[in-house]
Structure 1
């Protein structure tokens, strides 16, 4: 029974990949990016994170990569401000490989910066570079810590090397679901409104509404309460499409993770059986299938 279900999931994933093949050709907006492409909103978020009080959003230089090569690397916005190269994105899942993506993305941003500033990396003098800051705003459905710090070095394979490693990339993951990091959400009203809207969609789904109806009801409720009111009224259709895409992608990625977990569990049980640590019957029972079906996996 479960074996057939896994095959169905795989076919669904392949179909979804085919349907979403345009992702490799065109960047797909996220609701977070739609909101924070507005420089005033972005400056408000920067101030809330850094306990600052800057007032001129025109001083921000947007550095978000738009070319096709980096489309597959999900990023919402990057910008240079106050000698800091900021990389912000939202995620509905916490991925331990974020530092790797950040490394690649930041390297390209700095490459563009050096070229634009006409800096000579072969000069005898040290070239000045902005300080890199990478922040991920988490708003998924799973319980996560208020703050998490992910490091590129955590991915390095164990070795006898005891010297100083050549690379590091730190990612600060901040939980912005309602009830978390309340001071940050209080200091950035637009971030709180964003979190509230996403929460409304999720709550509507929990009450049995389809994703389309959940979005519609969330939009209506937020407009009535003056939450993202003008933004939602102006971008109603686009917001619906973006949210549907985000939630479908979230469901798709969750399916991939579950499928990967099942695949890993299968390999573990097979190894235990081959090492005579489990009988065939025990392995089949643990995997949730019949002995005959489990034998076909060997």
Structure 2
């Protein structure tokens, strides 16, 4: 992902994508989700993970088909709770269906009812469950007590008893967090995470096979995150300086206002501040703020 689009992924969920792109681990995930299916084989699974579906580079973590066109499973790994999870899942689902219909040359404007795979949406949540629900409903979360014309439901998977690969992945994430807290985003944190997980039999086979690759994944993302943070601070400082420079010729008040607006725009772009909150701080309506964002590109 280009750094100017912002950093969405951490070491954990990039490891997630790397591991489950391999069918010997993917089939373990499927069996954890569907323990009743004793006849599944690797040949029954086809990975269809989306690579880039939105302008800001958002893509889902994992998508796969089961037994041809019978079942389509989309999975996202998350360490931070947000009700917007269900919106993202719906976007991933519709984009995946669009790819499916295009690939199969299926005409949606014909009179014949089309065949389509049944969807299942999951989020593997690596934080504590607390009061979070087991199923996140679009209607219940955003349109309660209304006659909403659309619905989507995402099953949330939390840490549970057992040693299935999903539970192991959540355990890996928690150890990762502990080591980053101790050693920062460093090679030491990456090595300790791998060592401890292997000792505890968490993702042991995967980490034994790909220890160097996993270290590289973590360090690359640590570096990218550091570079982006440095650049973001530089952008903010330069925006403020530009506002002051403009203030020399246009009045200090206007210059500071421009600098403030530039900083607010950058905060929205990197996800640190919501658009409504930024517009309010800039004393602009949302439409005008969006226009100024577009003009600043």
TM-score by length of 1: 0.63
1:149 is aligned, of 127, 135, 138, to 135
Q: Does residue 49 in structure 1 map to residue 24 in structure 2?
A: no
CA change 1:68–1:166 in 2 (3 A) is: closer
Aligned residue number for residue 86 of structure 2: 99
CA RMSD of aligned residues (A): 3.9
Q: 1:155 deviation in Å?
A: 5.2
Aligned residue number for residue 18 of structure 2: 34
CA change 1:41–1:220 in 2 (3 A) is: same
Say which SS state the counterpart of residue 109 (structure 2) adopts: coil
Q: 1:23 deviation in Å?
A: 5.4
Cα-to-partner distance string for 1:31-66 (whole Å, 9 max, x where unaligned): 111111111211221122122223411221222112
CA change 1:247–1:39 in 2 (3 A) is: farther
Q: Does residue 239 in structure 1 map to residue 214 in structure 2?
A: yes
* Equivalences for residues 201-220 of structure 1 within 5 A: 201-205=176-180, 208-212=182-186, 213-220=188-195
CA change 1:78–1:201 in 2 (3 A) is: same
Q: 1:135 deviation in Å?
A: 0.1
Cα-to-partner distance string for 1:74-130 (whole Å, 9 max, x where unaligned): 411111114111101100011111121122211111111112222222222211211
CA change 1:138–1:226 in 2 (3 A) is: closer
1:169 is aligned, of 145, 152, 156, to 152
Unaligned runs of 5+ in 1: 1-16, 268-298
| 8 Å CA contact retained: 2:50, 2:96 | yes
Question: How many pairs are equivalent?
Answer: 229
Say which SS state the counterpart of residue 126 (structure 1) adopts: coil
Q: Does residue 84 in structure 1 map to residue 71 in structure 2?
A: yes
Aligned residue number for residue 290 of structure 1: none
C-alpha distance in 2 between matches for 1:106 and 1:133? 9
| 8 Å CA contact retained: 1:222, 1:229 | yes
1:113 is aligned, of 100, 121, 136, to 100
Say which SS state the counterpart of residue 104 (structure 1) adopts: helix
C-alpha distance in 2 between matches for 1:192 and 1:158? 32
| 8 Å CA contact retained: 1:27, 1:66 | no
